[in-house]
A and B are shown apart, each in its own frame.
Chain A
Amino acid sequence: EVQLVESGGNLVQPGGSLRLSCAASGFPLRAYFMTWVRQSPEKGLQWVANINPDGSESYYADSVKGRFTISRDNAKNSLYLEMKSLRAEDTALYYCTRAISSDWWGQGTLVTVSS
């Protein structure tokens, strides 16, 4: 069974950093694009970034470009999201999803940016 388990969410001050992880199982991670999507009451669902199967290409929403970095370790069946210079508007539940079209979703990890 496909499983995606996010972790790393926390309360962080504006300007701070955080690293999210997503542990994948039940499928060969190396064969799939992977995506981060976030959800907040204010902005709904927002695409954050995705990365190609071998990690050589990544794409970002304008709102996070230059601050967030998506990466992966296929040998460890893991996806990551490095977040820097965090802002209040980055507060959201962050989901790891499989493929560009998000056919499987994790349960999410909560990031709260507040002083």
Chain B
Amino acid sequence: DIVMTQSPLSLPVTLGQPASISCRPSQSLVHHDGNTYLIWLHQRPGQSPRRLIYKVSDRDSGVPDRFSGSGSGTHFTLNISRVEAEDAGVYYCMQATHRPLTFGGGTKVEIK
């Protein structure tokens, strides 16, 4: 199984400042079809996860452009250019290239 290692575990951020979360899969996420199915999810307290980013860098509909995803190989990053209060919660990376699909352990973003 592919292990998805996220860091940091916790990320205190000041409003308006940038934030960056790292995700390192234990092996390549390049699918036979050439795509890389690396996904970022956001879960607010008491809510279901919401997909933000798919295929490394494609933003889902309605996701603010302050969120961006990047990376390749075995290192991927979610960046928030200027953190807003609604961005608090836990962020997960997930790979959908190989079965079983696997998730990172989560990064808790807290607003200072």
Q: Which of A35, A44, A47 has the most CB of B within 10 A?
A: A47
For the side of the interface on B, what is the size category?
10 to 19
| Contact across chains for A47 and B92 when beta carbons are under 8 A apart | no
B interface list, Cβ under 8 A from A: 37, 39, 41, 48-51, 54, 60, 92, 94, 96, 99-103, 105-106
| Contact across chains for A45 and B100 when beta carbons are under 8 A apart | no
| Contact across chains for A101 and B54 when beta carbons are under 8 A apart | yes
Task: Give, as a whole number of angstroms, the nearest-CB distance from B8 to chain A.
Answer: 16
| Contact across chains for B96 and A100 when beta carbons are under 8 A apart | yes
| Contact across chains for B92 and A102 when beta carbons are under 8 A apart | no
Distance between Cα atoms of A52 and B94 in the complex (Å): 20
Q: Which of A46, A50, A59, A107 contacts B48 (CB 8 A)?
A: A107
Contact with B along A90-112 (1 / 0, CB 8 A): 00000100001111111110000
| Contact across chains for A45 and B103 when beta carbons are under 8 A apart | yes
Listed from nearest, the 10 A-B pairs whose CB atoms lie closest are A47-B101, A45-B103, A105-B48, A101-B96, A100-B96, A61-B100, A103-B51, A101-B54, A47-B100, A105-B49
Collect the chain A residues with CB atoms within 8 Å of residue B54's CB: 101, 103
17 residue pairs bridging A and B, Cβ less than 8 Å apart: A44-B103, A44-B105, A44-B106, A45-B49, A45-B94, A45-B103, A45-B106, A47-B103, A50-B101, A101-B37, A101-B54, A101-B96, A102-B41, A102-B94, A102-B96, A105-B48, A105-B50
Q: Which of B39, B48, B60, B99 contacts A95 (CB 8 A)?
A: B48
Number of residues on chain A facing chain B (CB within 8 A): 19
Collect the chain A residues with CB atoms within 8 Å of residue B106's CB: 44-45
| Contact across chains for B48 and A103 when beta carbons are under 8 A apart | no
Collect the chain B residues with CB atoms within 8 Å of residue A50's CB: 101
- Residues 35-84 of A contacting B (Cβ, < 8 Å): 35, 44-47, 50, 59, 61-62
Collect the chain B residues with CB atoms within 8 Å of residue A102's CB: 39, 41, 49, 51, 94, 96
